[in-house]
Amino acid sequence: MPNDELLDLTISELAPRIASREVSPVEVTEAALARADRLQPKLNSFITLLHERAMERARELESEVAEGKNPIGIKDNLATRGIRTTVGSLVLSDNVPEEDARVVTLCEEAGAIILGKENLEEFAAGATSNNPHYGAVHNPWGLDHIPGGSSGGGGANVASGVTFASLGTDLGGSVRLPGTFCGVVGLKQTFGRVSQRGLLVTSFNGDHIGPMTRSVADSALVLQAIAGYDPLDPSTVPVPVPDYLEQVGQDLAGLTAGIPSNYFFDEVDSEVEAAVRNAIAALQELGVQVREVSLPSMEYVGALRAASLADGIVTHEPYLTSDRDKYGPNVIYRTLAGQFVLGRDYSRALKVQRLIKEEYARVLQEVDFLVTPTAPIPAPRIDAVDLELNGETHRVRGPGSGFISRNTSPMNGNGLPAITVPCGFSGEGLPIGVQFIGSPFDERLLFRVAAGYEQVSPSKGVRPQV
């Protein structure tokens, strides 16, 4: 197989070839870097490419027993020792961390080869990855369209075969939105399952580090490498880490899916709804029982915005004092709004968050998992400021632009695991994703469901021709 074609394999497919020495990690890394160089002018998916470091790492792994040995990407808000980490802003353009984020250490211990630091929305604050300082990331399925945000560089790289996996961060859907818009698998695991240590300028409530991959099995493999209790991160929980591949491949007969009767399908593009309804029908053919469920507290989910606004002003405070002029306009405007949140409103937001968590806990006693559209629309154009849906106008970026993440951000508030899997295409050929939501720390079941559906998805085996 030519080296360039190796990049279209999954981690699971490539691993045995590397283990048998049929394929060298040096060959794969050379091919990945060549493709990265070729596509960077089109996708703008990296802020920093690490040619020499990646090749040196590949040569080191040539003789080691480590299993991974796959080129991956790291979002540029995850600390990398000795490597510039900008968080997509001029504020931190010269920031060079002294130690790696915990997840970076764990990935390298598992044999990963880091190709570079990936482009993102400035300060990971938005759903488009239209970065005002480092340029917009382009969607490999349609270069005039956004890849989703804020982890857009990672989604674009995985979809186009530059990386086998990319680590992103998800505070409102920032892994799952690039997942659905770029036609890859995006996972937000349970809050507390993966260490956030080394995640820069984060929120105190609801941020997650998760993988984007080309298959569900690969998502399970990456989570296997990064999951676990970190005694230096009080947000992690000392819950045993199971074998995430254990249930992948098992049939789905006897499971029950909950389909929300309110909120998630209330404001959705007709092509997206059709694709997701077809995915639900495919699950039924695989033996899954379907039950309608109600989540009335979702009427008040907008109240959680008060807590996130207050978090934002506190996390940005040091930079707003010294470097306000280096911020892009969208981030500065949405951040400054947080200073007007009253303590009473913040407490009310936490109360609503608690009520929503309790409601999901009750519903997930009745069903095994929930099914929703990942995003209400396919990927908008890069130059779009507003979009029209069912007679309503919604902002695409900047203040008031939470519409794109309306189906993903609630899972950051309740901490539940959620995964997006490709489930079809729009009339323009843009990917659509279906979101599966599970019970706390039961990612194994989500992988089982997602892998079972993946085998019958109309998106299976389809790759963008960049």
Report how far residue 348's alpha carbon sits from residue 117's, in angstroms, rounded to the nearest whole number: 38
**Identity (one letter) of the amino acid at 307?**
A
Report how far residue 379's alpha carbon sits from residue 148's, in angstroms, rounded to the nearest whole number: 7
The total number of residues shown for the chain amounts to 466
Rounded (10°) angle between helices 304-323 and 329-336: 120
**Identity (one letter) of the amino acid at 27?**
E
The alpha carbon dihedral of 365, 371, 377, 380 has a sign of: positive
In this structure, are residues 433 and 179 in contact, taking their beta carbons and an 8 Å threshold?
yes
DSSP 451-462: HHHHTT-TTTT-
> How many helices (DSSP H) and strands (DSSP E) are in the chain?
14, 15
What are the strands of the beta sheet with 289-293, ordered from one edge? 46-49, 113-118, 71-75, 165-170, 208-213, 185-188, 418-425, 431-437, 369-373, 256-260, 289-293
Catalytic site positions: 75, 150, 174
Report how far residue 155's alpha carbon sits from residue 106's, in angstroms, rounded to the nearest whole number: 21
Report how far residue 209's alpha carbon sits from residue 213's, in angstroms, rounded to the nearest whole number: 13
